[in-house]
Structure 1
């Protein structure tokens, strides 16, 4: 009974392998003579009209090429100053430690060692996270 099952499985595997080898690459992936540059130009408003994808790409490019406003120029030094180390802010912590709550674990009374020695129950304290984690400048520091 077991031999029939394994023979059938082996026959199915051979049929799948031979069926895969019988398929032509040209049937699965037809290849016309367009280059990647031709495809790019057609899809991104090139020579053959473009389409909706080309319009979206052009709109995104225009949004990125906008000039800086006066408010952006005025705000840039203060934004950049928060990340710059100076003598004034060197003594203050930029990267605050994130809270790492302590967990309390109660160990019940038990016997320990090769000679069963009674150990009374006790409470131990350990941190929740193995490593100390730090917040980036501007991240939340209040308790969650």
Structure 2
């Protein structure tokens, strides 16, 4: 029986797949004595290691805990009104209609039917798209 390159490739893939099972879990993923809580405290800088990471975390927390200014207090009602859900706001403000241009077509005079009947030339108008399409919120802001 002759060996083909597909047999050799299959044998090589099987050997590679089985060699992955020879690695021990402890060697691949060593498990220390620290818990997730200990790792969290160490990385957040709350434990014994207080360094640059701890300072950055403290600065970020202070920025979030800042008091509201007078300008923030005045701007709050207008900002909240933009997010109030009403039926008119949902349809007309968030989902704008996309343009659907009208196509004008001229049909030349022709003969139609089994008995050739002359049909005069005429003009007809139809929309480009079959249905009205709406934009996703924020996709189109100008009206047409």
Shift of 1:13: 1.5
Match of 1:63 in 2: 63
Shift of 1:5: 0.8
Match of 2:31 in 1: 31
Q: Highest Rg: 1 or 2?
A: 2
Query: Is 1:42 equivalent to 2:34 in the alignment?
Result: no
Shift of 1:56: 2.2
**Do the aligned residues in 1 keep the contact of 2:96 with 2:141 (CA within 8 Å)?**
no
**Do the aligned residues in 1 keep the contact of 2:41 with 2:47 (CA within 8 Å)?**
yes
Structure 1 unmatched ranges of 5 or more: 107-122
Match of 2:141 in 1: 140
**Do the aligned residues in 1 keep the contact of 2:98 with 2:133 (CA within 8 Å)?**
no
Query: Is 1:127 equivalent to 2:129 in the alignment?
Result: yes
SS in 1 for 2:128: strand
Match of 1:21 in 2: 21
Give CA deviations for 1:51-110 in whole Å, capped at 9, x if unaligned: 333322222221111110111112211222344478xx88xx434624335496x9xxxx
**Do the aligned residues in 2 keep the contact of 1:96 with 1:134 (CA within 8 Å)?**
yes
Relative to structure 1, the CA distance from residue 130 to residue 101 in structure 2 (aligned partners, 3 Å threshold; closer, same or farther) is closer
CA–CA separation in structure 1 for the residues paired with 2:60 and 2:132: 44
**Do the aligned residues in 2 keep the contact of 1:95 with 1:135 (CA within 8 Å)?**
yes
- The two structures have a TM-score, normalised by structure 1, of 0.63
- The two structures have a TM-score, normalised by structure 2, of 0.63
